[in-house]
């Protein structure tokens, strides 16, 4: 409880700053833009569901980053859907390792179903390529689609055909945070997507160091 209170006070102190005071480098998607993107994507997915006529599909969110996107997206769907999650990542902190690990599998039986993988970002495409093959091999869905919020125009993109539904394609190559995107676990809860400034990152590192110190002090008692 003490650790939570201390960290929360640091968070409130920082989050009360205006966007200008936070020195945000660049806004990628505002709150309104996110709603518009999710509304458009929901219309496209609704149409595909109706065309396939294969019963109730499964919206499979990739934890943890895609959860805000998943829950905003399904609010705009007209067709009935089921929701489940899977956890897979090739990232360690802010860097990709190239090795994909699946640490949480779906609870719903996906065999013969239409499955829509809901992901926050496609960067190199390595994680999503592996995840698609993993789901096909282990769960045998009838149709498998990928819906992504942000897709980078990345020179290192290995699998360019991987997204069936794309919210935003961007040339921005810098690290982004907010609305599910994180910096070592922080700031997934921001309602917009942005490129942080160096001032942001320095402040976040201070918060992480303070949290680690609080945690260390508590474990000594």
What is the distance between the alpha carbons of residues 156 and 126, in angstroms, rounded to a whole number?
Answer: 10
What is the distance between the alpha carbons of residues 42 and 85, in angstroms, rounded to a whole number?
Answer: 18
How far lies 98's CA from each of 69, 83, 104, 126, 129, in Å?
24, 28, 18, 7, 12
Task: Say if residue 159 is exposed, middle or buried (CB neighbours under 10 Å; 0-12, 13-18, 19+).
Answer: middle
Given 120, 123, 182, 200, which residue is catalytic? 123
Q: How far is CA 4 from the centre of its chain?
A: 24
3-class DSSP assignment, residue 115: strand
CA 16-18-22 angle, 5° bins: 95
| Counts for the chain of helices (H) and strands (E), in that order | 6, 8
Nearest of 127, 101, 131, 103 to residue 116 by alpha carbon: 131
Neighbouring-strand partners of residue 122: 151
Verify whether residue 123 is a known catalytic residue.
yes
* Residues marked as catalytic: 123
């Amino acid at each position: 409880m003490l650790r939570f209170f201390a960290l929360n006070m640091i968070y409130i102190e920082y989050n009360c700053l205006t966007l200008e005071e936070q020195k945000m480098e660049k806004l990628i998607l505002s709150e309104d833009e996110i709603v518009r993107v999710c509304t458009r994507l929901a219309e496209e997915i609704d149409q595909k569901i109706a065309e396939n006529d294969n019963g109730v599909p499964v919206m499979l969110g990739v934890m943890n980053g895609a959860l805000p996107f998943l829950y905003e997206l399904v609010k705009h769907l007209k067709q009935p859907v089921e929701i489940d999650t899977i956890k897979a990542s090739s990232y360690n902190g802010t860097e990709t390792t190239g090795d994909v690990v699946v640490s949480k599998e779906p609870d719903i039986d996906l065999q013969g179903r239409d499955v829509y993988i809901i992901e926050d970002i496609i960067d190199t495409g390595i994680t999503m390529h592996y995840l698609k093959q993993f789901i096909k091999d282990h769960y045998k869905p009838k149709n498998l689609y990928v819906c992504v919020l942000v897709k980078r125009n990345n020179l290192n993109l290995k699998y360019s055909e991987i997204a069936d539904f794309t919210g935003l394609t961007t040339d921005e190559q810098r690290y982004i945070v907010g609305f599910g995107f994180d910096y070592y676990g922080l700031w997934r809860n921001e309602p917009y997507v942005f490129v942080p400034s160096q001032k942001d990152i320095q402040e976040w590192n201070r918060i992480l160091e303070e949290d680690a110190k609080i945690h260390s002090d508590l474990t000594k008692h």
